Amino acid sequence: MPRPPSPPRCPVYGTDGNREIIIFTSPTRPPADNRNPLGHGGPIRLSFEFVHCARLEVSRTAERTMGLRTNPDRILENIDRQRIRDEEAQAGQDRQAIGRELETEIPDVDATTPERMKRIFSIVERSYTKAAANVELGKLASHFRAVGDIPTHHARGDVSVSIQYIDSARLDDIGMAPFEILPAHLIEAKKETRTSRPDVNALKVLRREIRDGVMAAYRKVEPRVRDALRDRADMGHVAVQVTMDVRPVEVRPPDEESLF
Residue 102 φ then ψ, to 5°: -120, 125
Amino acid at 6: S
Q: Running DSSP on this structure, what letter comes out for residue 39?
A: S
The separation between CA 252 and the C-alpha centre of its own chain, rounded to angstroms, equals 27
Domain boundary among 65, 80, 102: 65
Distance CA 67, CA 257 (A): 58
Which structural domain, as residue segments, surrounds residue 51? 12-65
Which pLDDT band holds residue 77 (cuts at 50, 70, 90)? confident
Contact 120, 227 (CB under 8 A): no
Tally the C-alpha atoms within 13 A of residue 25's C-alpha that lie toward its C-beta.
9
pLDDT digits (tens, 9 = 90+) for 196-221: 899 899 999 999 999 999 999 999 99
Q: What does DSSP assign to residue 44?
A: -
Decide which of 66 and 221 is more confident: 221
Statement to judge: residues 40 and 160 lie in one domain: no
Give the integer Cα–Cα distance in Å for 194 and 168. Answer: 50
- The percentage of the chain sitting over the pLDDT mark of 70, rounded to a whole number, equals 63
Do 149 and 42 lie in one domain? The reply is no
Mean of all residue pLDDT scores within the chain: 76
Q: How confident is the model at residue 250 (pLDDT cuts 50, 70, 90)?
A: confident
Q: Are 30 and 158 found together in one domain?
A: no
Together in a domain, 46 and 98: no
Which residues are bridge partners to 247 per DSSP? 156
Domain count, the chain: 2
Q: Output the pLDDT for position 249.
A: 84
Segment 88-130, tens digit of pLDDT: 555 555 789 999 999 999 899 889 999 999 999 999 999 999 9
Q: Is 245 helix (H, G, I), strand (E, B) or coil?
A: strand
d(CA 193, CA 211): 18
Q: What is the pTM of this model?
A: 0.61
Write the CB contacts of 182 (distance below 8 Å, at least 6 apart in sequence): 153, 154
Please tell me whether residues 135 and 209 are part of one structural domain.
yes
Torsion angle of C-alpha atoms 212, 244, 171, 226, degrees rounded to 10: -10
Is pLDDT at 9 greater than 80 in this prediction? no
Task: With beta carbons less than 8 A apart as the criterion, state whether 147 and 160 touch.
Answer: no
CB 22 within 8 A of CB 14: yes
Instruction: Note the pLDDT tens digit of each residue in 125-169.
Output: 999 999 999 888 988 998 888 777 788 889 999 999 999 999 999
Q: Per the domain annotation, does 2 fall within a domain?
A: no
In a domain, 72, yes or no: no
Classify the phi-psi angles of 194: left when phi > 0, otherwise alpha if psi is within -120 to 50, otherwise beta.
Answer: left
Kindly report the backbone phi and psi dihedral angles of residue 57, in degrees, each rounded to the nearest multiple of 5, phi listed first: -65, -40
Residues 116 and 219 grouped into a single domain: yes
pLDDT at 175 over 90: yes
Q: Are 109 and 232 part of one and the same domain?
A: yes
Distance CA 115, CA 96 (A): 32
